[in-house]
A and B are shown apart, each in its own frame.
Chain A
Amino acid sequence: MPTVKFTYALKRFFPALKDVPAEGNSFPEIFRELDFHYPGLSKYVLDEQGSLRKHVNIFIDGKMINDRNKLTDPLSVNSEIYIMQALSGG
């Protein structure tokens, strides 16, 4: 099953957040599972229309996803998914 890793910045809002093996073959399934473990987490990463927030990125096996709107990039069982924020602000 894919493993999901998170930027340290999300731990401010989800202090117990750890890298998790996530059951599921698609992002909707994975985010449903993440919300089960960390209620509300998906709303930090995705907007209410299901698109990736503007200043957030998702990498699959080191490669940035292409479809930020519907998150249809393919996953494999051993994929490492990394959720990070843009290094911006001030």
Chain B
Amino acid sequence: MKRTLLLGTRKGFIAYQFKNGNWKSENISFEGIPVSIAYVDPRTNTWWAALDHGHWGVKLHRSNDRGNTWEEVTAPSYPEGAEVKDGVPATTRYIWAMAHGGKKFPYRIWVGTDPGGLFVSEDNGNNFQLVISLWDHPTRKEGWFGGGRDQPGIHSIVVDPRNEERIHIGISCAGVFETTDSGKTWHIRNKGMWADFLPNPDAETGFDPHILIAANSNPDIMWQQNHCSIFRSSDAALSWEDVGQKGGTARFGFAIAVAEDDPDQAWVAPANSDMTRTAIKGALCICRTDDGGKTWKDQRKGLPQENCFDIVYRHALALSGDALAFGTTTGNLFFSPDRGENWQVLNNYLPMVYSVQFAD
């Protein structure tokens, strides 16, 4: 298990460190400012904080000394004249995903934004450029729309460690897109997904994968917690299979995690339907499958089982080895040392938690 937890919260960047058998708060930065993503680049152990100032716009900061000092870099910005739709100027409204470019591209960093632009840096974040090929994709202006946010947003960036020019992204609402040439061309990968909110069930885009991940041990196995169910792919997103629990707990939610050593073991953090977005029956539950989504079991030991309203946002469930951690919308932070069998509370008094990630 990695021994640091980075949290992006509604009131700042928070780091916890595991020492002498306990998690202790190590760093609080940007107090009072919403941090949409707290990200660590594991290649350099650089910490990143994506800020969502209410007044002053989206900002991006990095730290090379575990948050003791931060440097602001120029946040991704849209070129002059870029439009979300005809007559609607495009500006960076939110940073919703960060991913490093892999070993082959040691200075490459990807950033996903609302209103739907993917950005890439080739110099470790000093400068970002909009990926024009995706921005100009023929489906974007008419076939993408807001889900969770007012404008379309890229919340998932999955770089294939076997071929780091191959990237899958998740867009709410558009679906899953794949490039195999570092972003020069894009292919829609929505086959097998369904979306009961769409007027046309056969639409090419408009799907709502809340979060998209790939298994470390076999990146062809991909998982997504979708707005409509849980989907799994065994062919690197060429096709998707609905593996949600029919009539059960594991269906609607935002977050998902997959075991590092087993592509068929995954966790979700279920919530009530999209009508209420609260904990199911007032009880917090994590669900785990050990068989690729054929069956799911509830993991509740140590989690509140009454008077609970918490749900878990899409970036707020993290895994490292046998350990899991998640933060909730009502500021609770939970940790499990044993793949979700037992949970312990790390804090009940945090701000709303947007993201959780393990770091060295």
Contact = CB atoms under 8 A, between A and B. Distances in A.
Interface of A: 9-10, 13, 40, 43-45, 47-51, 53, 55-56, 85-86, 88-89
Interface string B68-109: 000010110110111000000111100000000000000000
A28 B121 CA distance: 28
25 contacts: A9-B55, A10-B56, A13-B56, A43-B57, A43-B77, A44-B56, A47-B92, A48-B78, A48-B80, A48-B92, A49-B78, A49-B80, A49-B81, A49-B82, A49-B89, A49-B90, A49-B91, A50-B80, A51-B89, A55-B54, A55-B55, A56-B56, A85-B55, A85-B56, A89-B54
A46 to B, nearest CB: 9
Interface in B34-80: 53-57, 72, 74-75, 77-78, 80
Contacts of B77: 43, 48
A40 B72 contact: yes
Nearest to B89: A49
A43 B53 CA distance: 12
Given A49-B81, A86-B55, 13 more contacts: A10-B56, A43-B57, A43-B74, A43-B75, A47-B57, A47-B91, A47-B92, A48-B77, A48-B78, A48-B80, A49-B80, A49-B90, A88-B54
B91 A44 contact: no
A45 B78 CA distance: 16
Contacts of B56: 10, 13, 44-45, 53, 56, 85
Residue from the set B57, B78, B81 with the largest chain A CB neighbour count within 10 Å: B57
